[in-house]
Amino acid sequence: MIQLSDISRVFQMGDQAVHALDHIDLEINSGEYVSIMGPSGSGKSTLLNVIGLLDRPNSGQYLLDGRNVTDLSETEQAQVRREKIGFIFQSFHLVPRLTAAENIELPLILTGMPPSERKLRVQETLDAFDLGNRAQHRPAELSGGQRQRVAIARATILRPTALLADEPTGNLDHRIGSEVMALLENLNQVGTTLIVVTHDRELGVRAHRRLGMRDGKIAADEK
Amino acid sequence: MKLNDTLRFSFKTLTSYRTRSFLIILAMALGVAAVIVLTALGDGARRYVVNQFASIGTNLIIVLPGRAETAGSFPGAVMGQTPRDLTLEDARWVGRLAEVRRYAPLNVGAAELSAAGRLREVTVMGTTAEIFPIRHMRLAQGDFLSAASAGSAQIVLGAAIAQEFFPDGHVLGQRVRLSDRRFTVTGVLAAQGQTMGFNSDEVVIIPVRQAQALFNTNSLFRLLIEARHRGEIEEAKQAIRETLIRRHDGEDDVTVITQDAVLATFDRILRALTLGVAGIAVISLAVAGILVMNVMLVAVSQRTAEIGLLKAIGTPATVIRRVFLAEAAWLSLTGALLGFVLGHIGSLMLRLAYPLLPAWPPYWANFAAIFVAVLTGVLAGLLPATRAARLDPVQALSKR
């Protein structure tokens, strides 16, 4: 469960302070499917980054599963990210020199899991995401849809409680984009909280809960 | 992240940027190789000199007529003008000292040698049979001044001279002329070549009395003395000096040199030289270290997005720093090992090209070169690694 209370994030642009997040109060229950929409610069990516502990708010309090994570040290925040949060990016962010299997393996290496067990988990995941025959390919040899599937596999291999997707279909054509969304929605069906930032209305309306952002504030919250 | 995973991850990075890694490793390797080859050269020169001294004899004390008034100049000795001669009688007195095992008086000059219709100028050494054990010289055939025939007109020819005058090998018993005096060849020196700039193959040896008569002098050129024990050299030196002062009416007019003193000076000079050369070579290691730093900084900015991703999937800053440090360590360690091999190949080629020069790098140079290389590499990696660890993940991820 994600609880934000009175969260503000201010960027300094020259001598002007920009309120990317302006006193946000938000509660997202476990297993929810939320879309965040709004024009560019409305603060939707910043909100996602704060929820994902990539960015620190200037003020306010953030409780994740009942634990105050606002003031954790950098190392503790990294651990929370590793265990509870999976990120999906518009540009996939795969490590170009590693194969699909090695990219998926990365989070497991971080936990210090022994190689034999890692191999097993990676193979399971590859099969689950229908990437079995692409395991030894590098990202450059994969199609866009396959790349995003690898990225999703990597984000979910440690079974995080929340998946945060920033424009996950932005670099994919319509048909592949729908497939990727369906994949994410399937993960949501089995209990993972799914938060998707998009400016694509058609995609946004698929979510059960739709947040609209404007000028760093939540302007709409429809269920 | 576990250590072996860190090492494997960073190693994989290096193998995927091959050209980059190769160039850095090469720079590091050349630095290390330079240290090893240059110290091998310096230490080889040092060992060459030390060996040369050792081949003269280790317990050697040399007495020169004349006194070195100030360090560095021996005017009397060079000019052959001394207040008092160093005579054969002096030598005999010195020879009676308990500390002296054996001694050989020495007169040196040039004279024309003629035999079998040939004529040439040779260096003549007038001495006694004791010269052989003292100078570690050996006879190839015949003998010289067996005790019964001391003072008779015998001559020993250097190997090259014997070959020149009597190519057919019938040397012993031949009669030769040295200036206007006749000698009988009783021996030939074994070929030894050059030692300390003196070629024993090109000399002839005659009894010291014959030489003094030939050169019309009563003074010895040198008196070579072998001390009984290496540890007693100082005492022997003292005893010799006292004997000669007594014989020279209380005047201290000889110079006594021990080879140890000369050797120690050469040793010191050449060791300093080696260190100096090594110091210069270490600069190339520092340059390699700066190269590693540059390349790692470029790597950090090239891989910004990747660092952002690593942070997003929950990599702590300490782990990111360690990954980049491991990369620098791999680069410098591989470079150092390659340089070690290159350096030893270089030293081997030096030894093959100049067989006289024992161009082995000293042990400390091997360790120091590798240690300094890895140290500079890792130090150079610190700044880039810290920069990578400090990157703001949001900005890092927004970079493609």
- Render pLDDT for B125-139 as a digit per residue (tens, 0 to 9): 888 888 888 877 788
Report how far residue B175's alpha carbon sits from residue B68's, in angstroms, rounded to the nearest whole number.
42
Q: What is the pLDDT of residue B139?
A: 83
Q: Which of B304, B309, B323, B392 to mutate to test the interface with A (most CBs of A within 10 A)?
A: B309
Which residues constitute the domain of residue A212?
32-59+73-222
- Residue B246 scores a pLDDT above 50: yes
Domain harbouring A121, CATH code: 3.40.50.300
pLDDT by residue for chain A (223 residues), tens only, comes to 899 999 999 998 888 888 999 999 999 999 999 999 999 889 999 999 999 999 999 999 999 999 999 989 999 999 999 999 999 999 999 999 899 999 999 999 999 899 999 999 999 999 999 998 999 999 999 999 999 999 999 999 999 999 999 999 988 999 999 999 999 999 999 999 999 999 888 889 999 999 999 999 999 999 8
For residues B48 and B316, the model is more confident at B316
Q: What is the pLDDT of residue B198?
A: 67
* B128-134 own/partner pairs: CB under 8 Å, 24+ apart: B128/B104, B128/B207, B128/B208, B130/B102, B130/B103, B130/B104, B131/B104, B131/B106, B131/B205, B131/B224, B133/B102, B133/B226, B134/B57, B134/B60, B134/B102, B134/B103, B134/B104, B134/B224, B134/B225, B134/B226
Q: What ipTM describes this predicted complex?
A: 0.92
Task: Give B2-43 pLDDT, tens digit per residue.
Answer: 888 888 888 888 888 888 889 889 988 988 898 899 889 888
* Local confidence band at B71 (pLDDT 50, 70, 90 cut-offs): very low
Distance from CA of A43 to the nearest CA of B (A): 13
> Domain for residue A21, yes or no?
no
Q: Which residues contact B397 (CB under 8 A, 6 or more apart)?
A: A54, A89, A93, B305, B308, B309, B312
Q: What is the pLDDT of residue A155?
A: 94
Quote the number of domains for chain A.
Answer: 1
The highest-confidence range among A18-32, B192-206, B220-234, B286-300, by mean pLDDT, is A18-32
- State whether A79 and B1 contact (CB < 8 Å): no
> Domain for residue A12, yes or no?
no
A16-A20-A25-A26 Cα dihedral, nearest 10 degrees = 180
Q: What is the pLDDT of residue B135?
A: 79
Q: What is the pLDDT of residue A154?
A: 95
Of B13, B313, B318, the CB nearest to A97: B13
Of A89, A91, A110, the CB nearest to B314: A110
Token pair of B205, please?
């040896």
